[in-house]
């Protein structure tokens, strides 16, 4: 007598209630998939993962308390075989890069079809990865660029905030000449020619998350 195949146990992590409930309702009527838990923020996601030990976790990137990337990193430190599908509206190449570096197996934009979502859950459960072509192209572009140093990132964040070289120098406690050196370097790494283009690239690519700009600097 053949044993019934075990359902794929899924955890849904999404801070928007309507979206989360929609995903749960959708997946719970799919044969072979069972939603075993849900979470509305990063801290709750870790708690729910530990409790339910899902086969696959659907997770948003931008959430309260802990980001999706932080959640993936922390859970995989405890459970290296944990499998994640990033489900997000953000397609900046830095977002993609961080998520995949953290250990995500798949990256889906929220405009995906139901069939694509279900197929991706089954593929990831089977040990495969899934990166849509458009997302893969953005990732390839990201992989072809040099990493910003921590100080270059600090300077870029200040540029995005609209600060002058003098203000950046004061904020970071470095000389204006050093600021100019960092700016010249980061412009080259970003493949842009001026501060305006650097700001646009930083936001579009997710290098400087918009959430960080809404928080006053300590």
The helix or strand, by DSSP H or E, that contains position 141, with its residue range, turns out to be helix 133-143
- CATH number at 180 reads 1.10.10.10
**pLDDT (tens digit, 9 = 90+) per residue, 124-166?**
999 888 877 766 666 666 555 567 888 988 898 898 888 999 9
Q: 156 and 119, same structural domain?
A: no
Q: Is residue 106 pLDDT above 80, yes or no?
A: yes
Out of 87, 113, 142, a domain closes at 142
Mean pLDDT of the chain: 83
| 2 is a domain residue | no
pLDDT class for 1, splitting at 50, 70, 90? Answer: very low
Structural domain for 207, as ranges: 150-214
| 91 is a domain residue | yes
Rounded to the nearest 5 degrees, what angle is found at the Cα of 133, between the Cα atoms of 129 and 139? Answer: 80
Q: 103 and 14, same structural domain?
A: yes
Mean pLDDT (whole number) for 55-71: 88
The DSSP string of 83-116 is EEEEEES---HHHHHHHHHHT-SEEEETT--HHH
Count: domains in the chain: 2
pTM for the structure as a whole = 0.65
Q: 200 and 100, same structural domain?
A: no
pLDDT at 145: 59
**pLDDT (tens digit, 9 = 90+) per residue, 157-202?**
898 888 999 999 999 999 999 999 999 988 888 878 888 888 887 7
Please tell me what DSSP assigns to residue 39.
E
Q: 107 and 26, same structural domain?
A: yes
Please tell me what DSSP assigns to residue 118.
H
Q: 88 and 50, same structural domain?
A: yes
- CATH number at 89 reads 3.40.50.2300
Q: 180 and 121, same structural domain?
A: no
Residue percentage of the chain with pLDDT more than 70: 84
């Amino acid at each position: 007598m053949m044993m019934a195949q075990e359902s794929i146990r899924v955890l849904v992590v999404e801070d928007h209630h309507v979206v989360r409930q929609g995903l749960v309702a959708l997946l719970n009527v799919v044969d072979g998939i069972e939603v075993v838990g849900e979470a509305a923020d990063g801290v709750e996601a870790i708690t729910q993962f530990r409790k339910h030990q899902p086969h696959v976790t659907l997770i948003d990137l931008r959430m309260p308390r802990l980001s999706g990337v932080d959640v993936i990193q922390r859970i995989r430190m405890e459970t290296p075989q944990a499998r994640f599908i990033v489900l997000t509206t953000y397609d900046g190449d830095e977002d993609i890069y961080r998520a995949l570096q953290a250990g995500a197996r798949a990256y889906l934009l929220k405009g995906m079809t139901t069939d694509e979502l279900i197929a991706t859950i089954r593929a990831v459960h089977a040990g495969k990865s899934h990166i849509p072509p458009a997302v893969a192209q953005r990732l390839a572009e990201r992989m072809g660029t040099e990493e910003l140093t921590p100080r270059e990132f600090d300077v870029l964040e200040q540029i995005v905030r609209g600060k002058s070289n003098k203000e950046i120098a004061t904020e970071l406690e470095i000389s204006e000449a050093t600021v100019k050196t960092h700016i010249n370097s980061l412009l080259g790494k970003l493949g842009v020619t001026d501060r305006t283009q650097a700001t646009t690239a930083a936001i579009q690519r997710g290098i400087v998350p918009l959430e960080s700009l809404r928080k006053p600097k300590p």
